Structure 1
Amino acid sequence: MPEVEITIGGRQFEVACAEGEEHYLLAAAKMLDTEASVLTEQIGRLPEARMLLMAGLMLADRTAGLEDRLRDADGEMAKVRGELEALKSAPAPEPQRVEVPVVPQRVTETLEELAARAESIADAMEEKTAG
């Protein structure tokens, strides 16, 4: 079982941990040291037991707040999942009827005839101006 030396509030401690868990122990010690440093800056030097207790309580308070937020977020996610499932299981909406206006054949034929006349007039004018 490896032993790791950690520093909390300017004090050195040797702590044993399971093989491969050193990284987690160092990360936890860093968090505790951060809280202990805040205490020593605000209050000054404290007895070791009191410093560790106060730093631990500060971390526990922060953790409790995060757990509350996580629980709230989990409740919101459950609500969203429920709404999503309700939408998935709901019947498909009725298709909407869309009417597209159709141009009557008679109008199309009339427009073609007008276009042909306009081209004929344009050709006649070109012949007169060229001749």
Structure 2
Amino acid sequence: MSNIDLSIGGRSFKVACAAGEEEHVASLGRMIDAKVASVPGAAGQSEARMLLFASLMLADEVHEAQNRSGSVPAPQAPVADPALAERLEALAATLEKCATALEA
């Protein structure tokens, strides 16, 4: 496991990720930061609200991409890849931290 620092909306977040995934997670962080920067008035918003808007914008992009492809992907069978499982666990931990921050 590795830890990296992400800067999103002028705030710093420490995130755990699988070894070798640091650049990918950093790239995702930059994508979220760009979404936050595109929200009018984001600078004055609370951390939870800022992340909520960025999440909604990214979810909308995923939804539009799925609609353009003409189908929503079918649920996948469980994956037996240990590296992927570790990456998903790290992502779940990050989402839990975000949820805790939103509830605070």
TM-score normalised by structure 2 residue count: 0.63
Partner deviation per Cα, 1:65-91 (whole Å, 9 max, x = no partner): 01111236xxxxxxxxxxxxxxxxxxx
Consecutive aligned runs of 4 or more in structure 1 exceeding 2 Å deviation: none
Measured on the aligned residues, the alpha-carbon RMSD in Å equals 1.2
Tell me which residue corresponds to 2:57. 58
- Pick the structure with greater CA Rg: 1
Tell me which residue corresponds to 2:48. 49
Tell me which residue corresponds to 2:24. 24
User: Is 1:38 the equivalent of 2:19?
Assistant: no
Aligned identity (percent) is: 40
User: What is the CA–CA distance in structure 1 between the aligned matches of 2:28 and 2:67, rounded to whole Å?
Assistant: 21
Aligned length: 70
Amino acid at match of 1:15: V
The 5 Å alignment of 1:31-110 reads 31-39=31-39, 42-43=40-41, 44-71=43-70
User: What is the CA–CA distance in structure 1 between the aligned matches of 2:60 and 2:38, rounded to whole Å?
Assistant: 15
How much has 1:37 moved relative to structure 2?
A: 0.6
Amino acid at match of 1:69: R
User: What is the CA–CA distance in structure 2 between the aligned matches of 1:6 and 1:57, rounded to whole Å?
Assistant: 19
Higher normalized helix content (fraction of residues): 1
Relative contact order (C-alpha < 8 Å, sep 6+): which is higher?
2
TM-score normalised by structure 1 residue count: 0.50
How much has 1:20 moved relative to structure 2?
A: 1.0
Amino acid at match of 1:6: L
**Structure 2: runs of 5+ lacking an equivalent:** 72-104
How much has 1:47 moved relative to structure 2?
A: 0.3
